[in-house]
Structure 1
Amino acid sequence: MDSQNLKGKVVTGVFWNVVQLLVNRSFDFAIKLILARLLFPNQFGIVGMASVFTSFVQVFNDLGIASALVQRKDEQLTEEHYHTSFWTGVIWSVGIYLIILFAVAPLAAIFYKEPLLRNIIPVLSLGVLSSPINLVHSAQLTKKMDFKKLAFISNVSTIFSGVLALILAYFGLGVWALVFNSVATFIVAMPLYFRATGWYPKFIWSKQAFKDIFGFGVYTTGTNLFNNLIQKIDYLLIGKLLSASALGTYTLAFVLTDTFRSQLMNIMNKVMYPVYGKKQDDIHSLKRYYLNVIKYNSLVIYPIMLFLVVLGEPFIITMFGAKWHDTILPLKILSLAVMVHMMVSSHSSLIRGLGRPKLEMNLQLFKAVCLYAPLISLGIYKYGIVGAALGYLVNKVLEVIIAQYYLKKLLNVSILELFFNLKAPLVATAISFAVSYSLYTANVHFILCALVMALSYAGVVWLFMSSELTKQIQQFRNRNKKQVAI
């Protein structure tokens, strides 16, 4: 694939993934808003407890198969690889679900002293059975960079599951509304994936194909395991050391901040991961692509996090109600943590795309064991959920330092280059913070403050990047015209 065509696919991929993000997040936010008014923090906390255990088991469900299929070059893959991946995933997922049913659910109920988990976890884990059926289709669409179909599948699944959750909550089913909101997404996506790819499995299994895929996937699975530990260690400890209500309060703050960040990064990683794989021998191009990913990620995330830092209190009280007041301070701290993390966002995907999954796994292991676990434990012990958020912020600062070391080593990206690359979002954030905070402290209504914040941020970004943004918009329009002509 030539560079111009690849660049066009990247631009189109980013567009459709932004569409997916906007639809998903807007609808998901509306669902969470309504559910938060219908339900209570302890109900969110119980589902949060269940998700801690199911997420650890689900890490092993993929076996890194999807990542291995996407990372390998086209000439290295045959139909045997796809059929072997499908049946390996299906058989493995049945075994995983049995472990959840007979071991994980009872242990979680004992660990948290919450009998309801014994019933919730098996239902919440139904996605384990459908996930491997979807993974080969998802990998094929990702490899082809057909993000329009992926966005359609994701949006339809999200909307359907959200409507189902609202209906269940309205009829008083409480935590089950949250449970089925997660489960329905996987199940609805299944027929849509088959329709999108037209690919159907045959009864073929190759030992050599399994070795090819599993050899790469085992490190990716290890990475995902430690990454999940990093993401869930605070949930695990808050639920155990504090209460379901405290976990529910923290969960809302996390969903509004880091979960949004991770969803955006997953979208960008989905676009860029196959690019990293195709360009893994061209370091100069990789560096350019990576710096652009960081810049555009930050352009989107910084104003949203700034809004939560400055106007988080009136936003929570107005939108979710006074019962969520304890969410405000953790929300602001986690927003700062997200802004720090954006400086090196997607570096794990880059390392994996370079064919270094073992390095990626070792880094995640070090961060999980030596940084996240001790710092967040200390924070919870000292200051409860506020301490957990502070521990998360400190971890993100340390993670930037570690990631920058390897970015310099692998791509020769200096810290000065990194800051210069982010000059537009950083300066825009600083100026819009000064303006909006001054207005807020002067008792101007928070909606007007938010409007001024958005306008000042957009204005500064346009001053810095008008020519670049105009060029990107023109390239996207030209590509769409070509596709229509074809």
Structure 2
Amino acid sequence: MNSNSLKSHATKGILWSAVDKFAVQIGQFVVSIVLARILVPDDFGLLGMLAIFIALSQTFIESGMGLGLIQRQNRTDIDFSTVFVFNLAVSGLFYLLLFFSAPLIASYFNQPLLIDLTRVLGLNLFINSFAMVQRTKLTIAIDFKAIAKTNVIGVIVGGIAGVIAAMNGFGVWSLVIQTLLGSFSSTVSLWFFSHWTPSIAFSKNSFRNLFGFGSKLLLSGLYAQLLNNVYNICIGKYYPISSLGYYSRAKGFADLSAGTITNILHDATFPILAAVQNDKEKLVSVYSRMIRMSSFCIIPMMTLIALQARPIVILLLTEKWVSVVPLLQWIVFSRIFLPMSAINMNLLNAMGRSDLFLKVDLSKLPLTIIAMIITIPLGVKGMIIGQVVTSGVAFFINAYLPGKFYGYGALSQLKDMLPVFIATLGMSVLVFLVIYFIDSLILQLVIGSIVAGISYLFFCWLLKLEELEEVKKMCLSLLKK
């Protein structure tokens, strides 16, 4: 793939991945807002208790083999079929494990309803296992346009079904209905767009090679999911269900921006980085560009959410969710380095060094354990502040090996981000001064957002940030499609 072709594929991939992730996240966000206004915090808290069990099971099913297919240069049809058969078999196994362990889960949280919720929601594992290889094939082809269509279909179908169920008094079951029907419709769409029909064939050699790469990612993924959801277990066990509901909503707001950008960069850059893994100059060029672009977007976005947390929460969710405000103001800063950290780790996978990926991830375990021991007795807000500290330290850890291999470590990355921090600081001062003198929550949100957008772009223009021109070109390119 020559330089022009690579750049074209990368740009189109990022654009359509952005359309996909933002459309899906905004769609899910709108649905969650409607559901939050109908349901109560306890409903979201109940589903939050199951998040870690579903996430860990899903990680086992994937086992990093999808990324193994993307990273592999000479993949064959038998490779895809082997992964498909593996996904189906493991999904069935883990559904049975969830089914029979449901009473134990319900007993741990002292919530009998979790027995039926676990057994029904667990069906989502089996549904998703049919979609993994199809999604991987489209990712390899950098066909994020097709992926975007399937995901949007899933959001629309699941969202409509969930809202109708909530309006008819289904309570927490409306969230389950939303999840299952959304996954099913998305899976059916993927089969239509991928144009690939698997054979029920399994190759031991193919499995051995793919799992050799994926096994390290499996362990790392389990570790990541455990850390990402362990707070749900602690809050659900030691605090009222409503506290977990508030935490889940705050996390949802923060992940709408940080999580979306992280997923865009992961999906769009991994196949590109893997394709140029043997060309150091191209690899570093793409890698550094993504670090700068992600900071350009995420730092001002998360800061603005913190500044406008109160009007956002009260206007969208109503006064019954006001306890989310202080949690949201802190949790957004625990996500501010997330996209950049993800790119640093993604580079190791693109190099085929999933072993280093695992080692780096595991090296952060003591830090997280210490933070949890200190902050769990301090309440939910204290736990989130602990996440802010650990995420900052984790960024330096994640950037160490890229700095060692390519000379672009944490200090170099922070130097590139410095103009963005300056522009964001200027934006923050102006927004704070404006909304301080406005009583209306609606006007705070509207005027504050307008001032933020204009002032941030102005400061970026003054600082002559190249990313401003990059965004302009991307937008113009998208409008021409």
For the criterion TM > 0.5, the same-fold answer is yes
Q: For 1:76-475, what aligned pairs fall within 5 Å after superposition? A: 76-103=74-101, 105-258=102-255, 260-367=257-364, 369-382=365-378, 384-443=379-438, 445-446=443-444, 447-465=446-464, 469-470=468-469, 473-474=472-473
Cross-structure match for 1:44: 44
Q: CA deviation at 1:451?
A: 1.5
Q: CA deviation at 1:342?
A: 4.3
Residue-by-residue CA offset, 1:183-225 (whole Å, 9 max, x unaligned): 2222111221111121101132211111111111111111110
SS in 2 for 1:23: helix
SS in 2 for 1:27: helix
Cross-structure match for 1:59: 59
Contact 1:11 1:476 (C-alpha < 8 Å) held by counterparts: no
Residue-by-residue CA offset, 1:412-440 (whole Å, 9 max, x unaligned): 11444212322442222111001011122
Q: CA deviation at 1:461?
A: 2.6
Contact 2:261 2:339 (C-alpha < 8 Å) held by counterparts: no
Contact 1:237 1:377 (C-alpha < 8 Å) held by counterparts: no
Count residues with an aligned counterpart: 477
Residue-by-residue CA offset, 1:45-68 (whole Å, 9 max, x unaligned): 001001122212221011212111
Contact 1:226 1:361 (C-alpha < 8 Å) held by counterparts: no
Cross-structure match for 1:22: 22
Query: Identity of paired residues, percent?
Result: 26
Which 10-residue stretch deviates more, 296-305 or 246-255?
A: 296-305
Q: CA deviation at 1:16?
A: 0.8
Paired letter, 2:324: T
Contact 1:71 1:277 (C-alpha < 8 Å) held by counterparts: yes
Pair 247,290 (structure 1): closer, same or farther in 2 beyond 3 Å: same
Which 10-residue stretch deviates more, 458-467 or 191-200?
A: 458-467
Contact 1:440 1:449 (C-alpha < 8 Å) held by counterparts: yes
Which 10-residue stretch deviates more, 406-415 or 241-250?
A: 406-415
Which 10-residue stretch deviates more, 358-367 or 214-223?
A: 358-367
Q: CA deviation at 1:117?
A: 0.8
In the alignment, the residues of structure 2 paired with residue 471 and residue 332 of structure 1 have an alpha-carbon distance, to the nearest angstrom, of 30
Unaligned ranges ≥5, structure 1:
none
Q: CA deviation at 1:232?
A: 0.8
Q: CA deviation at 1:473?
A: 4.9
SS in 2 for 1:394: helix
Contact 1:137 1:194 (C-alpha < 8 Å) held by counterparts: yes
In the alignment, the residues of structure 1 paired with residue 471 and residue 392 of structure 2 have an alpha-carbon distance, to the nearest angstrom, of 32
RMSD: 2.0
Pair 49,313 (structure 1): closer, same or farther in 2 beyond 3 Å: same
State the TM-score, normalized to the length of structure 1: 0.93
Contact 2:21 2:263 (C-alpha < 8 Å) held by counterparts: no
Paired letter, 2:381: V
Pair 62,468 (structure 1): closer, same or farther in 2 beyond 3 Å: closer
Q: CA deviation at 1:270?
A: 0.5
